[in-house]
Amino acid sequence: MFENLTAKLQAVFDKIGKRGKLTDKDVDVALREVRLALLEADVNFKVVKEFISRIKERAIGAEVTRSLTPAQQVVKIVHEELIHTLGEPAPLNLSGPAPHVIMLVGLQGSGKTTAAAKLALRLRKSGQRPLLVAADIYRPAAITQLETLGRQIDIAVHSEGDQTPPPDICVHAIARAREGAYSTVILDTAGRLQVDEEMMREVEQIRERTNPAEVLLVVDAMTGQEAVNVADEFKKRVGLTGVIFTKIDGDARGGAAISIREVTGVPIKFLGTGEKVADLEPFYPDRLASRILGMGDVLSLIEKAEDTLDQEQAMQAAQKLVEGDFDLDDFLKQLQQVKKMGPISKLLEMIPGMSQFSDQLSPEVTEDQFKQIESLIQSMTRMERQDPRILNANRKRRIARGSGRTVQEVNQLLQEFRQMQRMMKQMTSGKGMGRNLMSLFR
């Protein structure tokens, strides 16, 4: 979502980084370019004005002029002020007696039903027992969609068809939750194509009768600054406690995510990072600020790995690497594990200094490369995977035919695998390196 903004900000910082000293004029020119980059990213103009004002006040003062690395100090100030604009982390309020009611509101098409399922899955992983509630009786197939998602993730869904009034459905669901020992209740309420009186009256009634601990607005990041206006309207009528931004993996310019906290005072709580039910991340302002500025986000990468990767399999792979016994079977297993974490381009954005390469990789290209390697290895016999040295010309031709690839592609895979083996041997041959590698997986 922030690719263009990140590229433009990095260009500004690269320019000022070439100067040993920064004059007031240098700072002014840099901040003018930062202002333009933010406005082009659809950040609210009042937020941009206040943001630039705060940076300028600090950048032209002694904080920068006395610094040994003025350019780095400016980047540090921009980073800190961006965090200030994005607000503080705001975890869900699940205090008090169960069941905790979480009410999702928003316009039709914002991804509210999918967000309900994503949130339920995340809550279950944290030890909660959630109940999903189909309270959208107006949109065709809304109830069916939630029930289908519930079956996919094995989470119960309370539905009563399309004849019972939504406020009654929600009250009945909470009663069921108490009887069934569900710890959280997630209400998927109805939306409209735009904010209207009928929708607002209904969500007000639901709020009044269910007394939710959280009222979360689900917003499509693609709607731009209109998302800020929608949030402001819902806040006035329903009293929002947070925002879930969906579809941030799309080509939205990202300005609404930067603006919404400062304009409305409503914190962002979650980001929908993809189409899969597991693609929901808690919102950490400092991490997002680092990603926007191209500094990476190692903590989120580690958390994603811990959630996705099979730890026992990773330990076994590390042991084989240390012992020099890593074969093509192990390589295929590790490739399939990495594939679960999402597109390589998105993972690169989380590694400091690598975000500049992420836009060179499209998800389609890396997905095709994964499939190519999988088909080649799966066309080999068990013996060939364990000992690629036995692969002669005849065997390579057979593998190429079986995978629908070429002999050249078979040779390329083997060459890259041998290079990786050599690199790992070098890494583990140094004193203590093997032990250090193993400790990464403990």
* Residue in the block written with tokens 């999918």: 114
User: What's the rounded Cα separation, in Å, for the pair 27 and 60?
Assistant: 7
**186 contacts 116 by C-beta, under 8 angstroms:** yes
Q: pLDDT tens digit string along 349-359?
A: 554 444 444 44
User: Whose CA is closest to 221, among 191, 254, 195?
Assistant: 254
* Residue in the block written with tokens 């579809």: 247
Q: pLDDT tens digit string along 158-193?
A: 999 889 999 999 999 999 999 999 999 999 998 877
Burial 413-440 (b: 16+ CB within 10 A, else e): bbeebeeebeebeeebeeeeebeebeee
- pLDDT value for 223: 77
Helix residue ranges per DSSP H, 297-431: 298-308, 311-323, 328-340, 344-349, 355-358, 363-378, 382-386, 393-403, 407-429
| Cis status, amide bond into 99, omega within 30 of 0 | yes
**209 contacts 234 by C-beta, under 8 angstroms:** no
Residue 80's pLDDT band (boundaries 50, 70, 90)? confident
Q: pLDDT tens digit string along 22-58?
A: 677 878 888 888 888 888 888 888 888 998 888 888 8
- pLDDT value for 322: 56
**410 contacts 396 by C-beta, under 8 angstroms:** yes
User: What's the rounded Cα separation, in Å, for the pair 434 and 121?
Assistant: 37
Q: pLDDT tens digit string along 196-206?
A: 888 889 999 99
58 bridge partner residues: none
Residues in the chain: 442
User: What's the rounded Cα separation, in Å, for the pair 372 and 368?
Assistant: 6
- pLDDT value for 339: 66
- pLDDT value for 417: 81
- Per-residue pLDDT, averaged over 216-225, amounts to 84
Which domains occur in the chain, in start order? 3-86 (1.20.120.140), 100-292 (3.40.50.300), 303-439 (1.10.260.30)
What's the mean per-residue pLDDT of the chain?
79
All residues at 6 or more sequence positions from 372 whose CB lies less than 8 Å from its CB, including other chains: 405, 409
- Per-residue pLDDT, averaged over 131-159, amounts to 93
Strand order in the sheet with 130-135: 157-158, 130-135, 184-189, 100-105, 214-220, 242-246, 268-272, 280-282
- pLDDT value for 442: 40
218 bridge partner residues: 244
Residue 61 in this model has a pLDDT that exceeds 80: no
Percent of the residues in the chain that have a pLDDT greater than 70, as a whole number: 75
**258 contacts 85 by C-beta, under 8 angstroms:** yes
Of 96-105, 135-144, 309-318, minimum mean pLDDT range:
309-318
- pLDDT value for 344: 56
From residue 126, alpha-carbon distances to 14, 25, 151, 325 in Å are 41, 51, 19, 37
- pLDDT value for 251: 57
Q: pLDDT tens digit string along 380-400?
A: 998 998 888 899 999 999 999
Kindly report each contact of residues 87-90 with a partner whose C-beta sits within 8 Å and lies 24 or more positions away, as own/partner: 87/261, 87/262, 87/267, 87/268, 87/285, 88/267, 88/285, 89/282, 89/283, 89/284, 89/285, 90/242, 90/267, 90/268, 90/269, 90/283
User: Whose CA is closest to 223, among 184, 188, 195?
Assistant: 195
All residues at 6 or more sequence positions from 347 whose CB lies less than 8 Å from its CB, including other chains: 301, 304, 338, 341
